[in-house]
Amino acid sequence: MPSSAHPTAPSANIAKIRERERVRVRRPSREEALDAVRTLIRWAGDDPTREGLIGTPDRVVRSYAEFFSGYDEDPVALLQRTFEETDGYDEIVMLKDIRFESHCEHHIAPIIGKVHIAYLPSNRVVGISKLARLVEVYAKRLQIQEKMTAQIANTLDEVLQPKGVAVVIEAAHQCMTTRGVHKPGVSMVTSRMLGVFRADPTTRREVLTMIGTPGSGSSEHV
Ligand SMILES: [Zn+2]
């Protein structure tokens, strides 16, 4: 990777993202969170003081810290260091099959799938691992797939300001497979196209061909 790193993105865009990101809740104490898990165990019909369940609230609370660590991450800081020495590279950059685990905000049930991210650089490129970390920032929150798709695309667009951004997500929702309508093997596909990928059908076809047909071939479904 070339060595020159530059901060990017106009401050208006950054302010917009920071406003979207602002969390407006008071976090409960750890003890309150443990009590809430004990309440849910009783709601399920079991005794939170029996031996097998005694350590469960602690494990659940620690799991939540991991499942929802994205609220403490700053997507702007993540993407702000970019590289300009691209030697005139002006073709699509794509990271495919980024596996993610998220939780649906309607049932707090797992959503497991993969994200494909592509952008057409405008002089600047971002380190490829940053794209994977951007997925983590938004996956590790309570989500709906459509919102996560838009958040990844919009943030990349606003911070990096490329000529175009394409984000496609295919995922299985365990709130559908393990409860409710019980339909295993179903995956949901969402996409958000910005810039040239939205405006120019040829460029959009090119990026969709690179991604391949979601739901076929190499895709694993849960
Ligand atoms: Zn759900």
- State yes or no: is 221 an active-site residue: no
Report helix, strand or coil for 65.
Answer: helix
pLDDT score of 222: 38
The structural domains of the chain, with segments of one domain joined by +, span 5-21+70-211
CA of 45 to the centre of ligand 1 (A): 22
CA angle, residues 194, 125, 91, in degrees to nearest 5: 65
Closest CA relative to residue 206, chosen from 86, 124, 94, 128: 94
Six-digit token pair at 207?
């990026």
Pairing, β 93-104 against β 142-143: parallel
Cβ(151)–Cβ(133) under 8 Å? no
Closest CA relative to residue 87, chosen from 164, 2, 8: 2
- State yes or no: is 158 an active-site residue: no
Q: Which CATH class is domain 5-21+70-211?
A: alpha beta
pLDDT score of 180: 81
Strands of the sheet with 188-195, listed across from one edge: 142-143, 93-104, 110-120, 164-173, 188-195
Pairing, β 110-120 against β 125-126: unpaired
Catalytic residue among 104, 151, 158, 174: 104
Task: Kindly list the protein residues that place their beta carbon closer than 5 angstroms to ligand 1, a single-atom ion.
Answer: 104, 106-107, 175
- Kindly report the backbone phi and psi dihedral angles of residue 17, in degrees, each rounded to the nearest multiple of 5, phi listed first: -65, -45
Six-digit token pair at 84?
């300009």
Catalytic residue among 32, 105, 146, 220: 105
Residue 19: other Cβ atoms inside 10 A = 8
Least confident of 3-12, 92-101, 109-118, 142-151: 3-12
Cβ(98)–Cβ(114) under 8 Å? yes
pTM: 0.88
Tell me the pLDDT tens digit for each residue of 40-86. 999 999 999 999 999 999 999 999 999 999 999 999 988 888 777 77
Residues in Cβ contact with 207 at an 8 Å cutoff, skipping those fewer than 6 apart? 92, 94, 118, 164, 166, 193, 197
